[in-house]
Structure 1
Amino acid sequence: MYKGSCLCGKVSYELHSEPKAVSHCHCNMCQKQHGAAFATYASLPKSDLSYISGSEVLASYNSSESVVRKFCSNCGSSIEWSSSKKFPSWVSIAIATLDTPYNPSKIKNIYQASSVCWLVNS
């Protein structure tokens, strides 16, 4: 089991299975939402995500027709996105919000066509 929380600590959650399909997403929506060059998400079945506290302060935003993003309305931490038409029973968690150590064996880079020009790859 993995545990995570937002910056202010009002939202906390648990993951009840090993996250899958970890990716650095370079799309413009993730860049804007995170204020960063990319966002790193790990996917798992929605049924394996439990909010322990703060579900009442989670805000949601439809960033596109098929994606709903959730974040803490107090501190702004991005927590999840879901509602993908391709994978409706899955959720993607922003792994930077994990409090439990997690070391994915593989991370895929996606939407690299919109990568920022100032990101230095090493």
Structure 2
Amino acid sequence: MSLKGSCLCGTVKYEVTGSLDFAGNCHCSICRKSHGAAFATWGIIKPDQFRWVSGEDFVQHYESSPGRTRYFCRKCGSPLASAHAGSVGEVVMGTIDGDPGTRPREHIFVGSKAPWYDITDSLPQHDTWPPGFMP
């Protein structure tokens, strides 16, 4: 299986060889501000599964918190991926072209979620990182 993704303007394209390990919704203030939304939905991958296919010259990145780098298209601003400790390990689900084959399994960092957004589904909610998970 292979997943393909791209930015809004189509300049940057990436590929994930294999499937997503899982997906989740992050409500932390950094994800909210980075995505301009109530939360960001991330697909977790193995770092060796990710590669930029085209437009890598247009990929900009910055360290949003210690050890975490976010990648986005500098032409259109689309957030694309993030890395912990140097290797891309997450892709923004909204940038995947087509059905990723998995659905979000949880909400994380709901302790700092937007006060104007109510979570109305039955997925598990964690105030910070889920038990046993920390990149």
Q: Could you tell me how far 1:21 is from its partner in structure 2?
A: 2.8
Amino acid at match of 2:51: S
* Distance change (3 Å), C-alpha of 1:28 and 1:11: same
Q: How does 1:23-102 map to 2 (within 5 A)?
A: 23-84=24-85, 91-102=89-100
What letter matches 1:63 in structure 2?
Answer: S
Q: Per-residue deviation at 1:103?
A: 3.6
Structure 1, unpaired ranges of 5+: none
Instruction: State the AA in 2 paired with 1:71.
Output: F
Contact 2:21 2:46 in 1 (8 A): no
How far apart, CA to CA, are the structure 1 residues paired with 2:54 and 2:87?
22
Measured at CA, do residues 90 and 76 of structure 1 come closer, stay the same or move farther in structure 2, by a change above 3 Å?
closer
Residue 89 of structure 1: how far off its partner (Å): 5.2
Matching residue of 2:107: 109
Which blocks of at least 5 consecutive residues in structure 2 are unaligned?
A: 121-135
Instruction: Between 37-46 and 102-111, report the one with greater CA deviation.
Output: 102-111
TM-score normalised by the chain length of structure 1: 0.90
Q: Is the 8 A contact 1:45 1:89 kept in 2?
A: no
Whole-angstrom distance in 2 between the partners of 1:115 and 1:63: 18
What's the CA shift for 1:105?
A: 4.6
TM-score by length of 2: 0.82
Report % sequence identity: 33
Alignment length, in residue pairs? 119
In structure 2, the partner of 1:6 is 7
Instruction: Provide the alpha-carbon RMSD of the alignment.
Output: 1.5
Deviation larger for 24-33 or 75-84: 75-84
In 2, Cα distance between the equivalents of 1:32 and 1:118?
Answer: 14
Runs of at least 4 residues off by over 6 Å: none
Given residue 93 of structure 1, which amino acid in structure 2 is its aligned partner? V
Aligned to 1:18, what secondary structure does the other structure show?
A: coil
